[in-house]
Structure formats: C-alpha cells, structure tokens
Amino acid sequence: PAIGALVSASLISAACAAQRQARLRPIAYVAGSACLIVSAIIAGAYSSAAAEQAAFEDRIASTMQDDLAQLKASAHLSRYVLVGTAGYAPSVQHAMSQQRIIGQLIESYLTQDRFFTKSYLLHFKQPLSLIESSRLSESLRGAVLDACAVPLMQTRSAYRIRLVDDLAVIDFRDTAGCQK
C-alpha cells in the first residue's frame, strides 16, 4: 500500500509539472491528466492486490505452522521443505489478468527455494526449521519431488503434507493424479 501511495504522489507531481507546461502547450495538460488517471487506477489496484496477497499468504502460513506443530508432536520431525508455490489469491489473479503490471510487482513469498520465504516464515511460530530443497541429498531430493511416492499425512486446500524420514514436505503443487 505504501508503494501505491508513492507511485500516486510521484505521478501527481508529474501531472502538476505538466500543467505548468500546459500554459505553453495545451496537449501537455491533457496528456498529464490522462497519465494521472491511469496511474491512480493502477496504484489503487496494486495496493488492493498487495494487501489481499499478504492476507492470503498469512492464512496459509499460519495454518501450515499449526499443522507442522501438530505433526511434530506425533512424529520425529526436525525440518520441512516447500515444493512448488502457494501462488496468488483469486482476486490478485483477476487483477493480474486486467493489469499485467501487477504481476510484475507482486510476488508470492510461499515459494520453493525463494530467498524471501525463510525470512517471511520467521514471522510465524516455527515448530521446525525450513530447509532449501537444493541442500537435500540427491536421494532425499528425489523422494521429496516425487509427489506420489509417499502417502499424505495432511491435506488442505492450498497444500498437502507428506513425511519423508524426519522431513515434512509441504507440497503446493496439484497432485490430484496421485492415488495415495
């Protein structure tokens, strides 16, 4: 939301500068006004989409941490790994389809091996430590990435949890083809 306000403020300044030029060139006034209107619409859509995406990922991360704490109480787990991405909230997907620039500005924090993910998840109570899939042994990485190899322990609308050794696998991918 703060970035949307900054974008709007900078474009208002540009429009004001264009209006000063409008005394000399009326077309500059029209162009500046049109630019201001379009920018305000994009900034508003971006601000709303960013807030909705944050709430969407906060709900998923909170539920995910509760599920991991529950599994840790019943199984010997010390770490977890993310596979795939949580993606975008439905309203954000709609905004991205209407204004493509929003897709460039908003990223999903719940994504496999993304730099921001570990920092983002520190805001939630961490029952286990997050590990990047690139740091797993080759055999363990193969088991983690084969979504159908291990039975499900927990199923949510946004993710599924499987256990591989002492590792909880949070799988955001669509694994509907698995029969386990």
Q: How many CB atoms lie within 10 A of CB 18?
A: 19
Structure confidence at residue 7 (pLDDT): 67
Residue with tokens 């000063």: 20
pLDDT at 65 over 80: yes
Q: CA-CA distances (angstroms) from residue 28 to 19, 31, 42, 56, 77? A: 7, 5, 21, 41, 64
pLDDT in tens, 97-111: 988 888 888 989 999
* pTM passes above 0.85: no
pLDDT in tens, 67-81: 999 999 988 888 999
**pLDDT bracket for residue 177 (50, 70, 90):** low
Give the span between the Cα atoms of 63 and 158, in whole angstroms: 10
pLDDT in tens, 141-152: 888 888 677 888
